[in-house]
Amino acid sequence: MHRKVAVLLGGKSAEREISLKTGEAVYQALLELGYTAIKIDTAGPVISQLNDFQPDVVFIALHGKYGEDGTIQGVVETLGYPYTGCGVLASALAMDKIYTKKILVYDGIPTAKFMTVAQNDIAFENLPNFYNKVKEEIGYPLVVKAPTQGSTIGIYFISKEEELLESIKNAFTYDPVIMIEKFIEGTEVTVSVLGNEKPFALPSLEIISKTGRYDYKAKYTKGLSEHIIPARVPKETDQLISELAVKTYKAIGCRGFARVDFIVDKNLQPFVLEINTIPGMTETSLLPDAARAVGIEFPQLVEKIVNLALGIE
């Protein structure tokens, strides 16, 4: 008898559209593998549908808020069903870029210089002081980030002081505390990691955006970005990136699968940008591409993730 898998998709986050694509691709792969599968859109009633279906495992194919941040993981855990990917704490930590960075710094994992800003830090009378602090601590160019958004939503690239305030105000529409980070020019490389107790890195993948910036549009429009596997960096650098990806995965406490994003500067120094605990699983996505490079086709990748949820390494 084949296992029953409930695929959670859609949801209420800004990344709903991508989640529907990820969930559909996973669902089709499960059917192809002979699993009994259903799709549940978490924008509707979740608990009653899960309890009616009584799955052996829940495949969480949600991105962004309420799906990738530990909230749905807590619900599924409380109901007692095994589920794919990271647990409650790792999901919550990785979803918040500020807490991720604090852990990276604590564990000595290289990441770009950053500072946090709360709304009352930029009260009108403090502005000159604030501008000086940013200039001294971070310097230009820099990146303003809303820490809990994914898919490059709420991210602003700033080259001069005049552009700073508006971007900060925009970022505050997503989160009450935001992050200002040093912009590092370099090669975008991502490394996917699979496993529970014995995590291993898949080949590195270099991202080239045709638009010059790997933003939401470049990410999800076919033909606007190109993936090169492995990344075009020296062997030692590639090795270091893989080691740092696994180290980051362990530092956050991940299980199942995740994807660590890097920027490699002109001195070949890799910096961790963030970790995604539910990376996209669509036809243009990075993780399936990296898996394919080592002979793991999409259905096998889905099955591996299901097995890891059940504790089978």
Tell which residue, 296, 256, 227, has the closest CA to residue 29: 296
Residues 119, 176: contact at Cβ < 8 Å?
Answer: yes
Distance CA(281)–CA(61), nearest Å, equals 8
Please confirm, yes or no, whether 232 is among the known catalytic residues. Answer: no
Q: Is 181 a catalytic residue?
A: no
Q: Is 220 a catalytic residue?
A: yes
273: enclosing H helix or E strand: strand 270-276
Annotated active-site residue 261? The verdict is yes
Selecting among 91, 167, 276, 285, the annotated active-site residue is 276
- Active-site position among 96, 188, 206, 274: 274
Tell me the β-bridge partners of 311: none
Query: 282 near 18, Cβ under 8 Å?
Result: yes
Choice among 261, 285, 289, 303 that is catalytic: 261
φ, ψ of residue 151 in degrees (nearest 5): 50, 40
Residue 267 makes CB contacts below 8 A (sequence gap 6+) with none
The CA-to-CA distance between both ends of the chain, in Å, stands at 21
**Selection from 177, 178, 182 nearest residue 110 by Cα:** 182
> Is 280 known to be catalytic?
yes
Catalytic residues: 15, 151, 220, 259, 261, 274, 276, 280
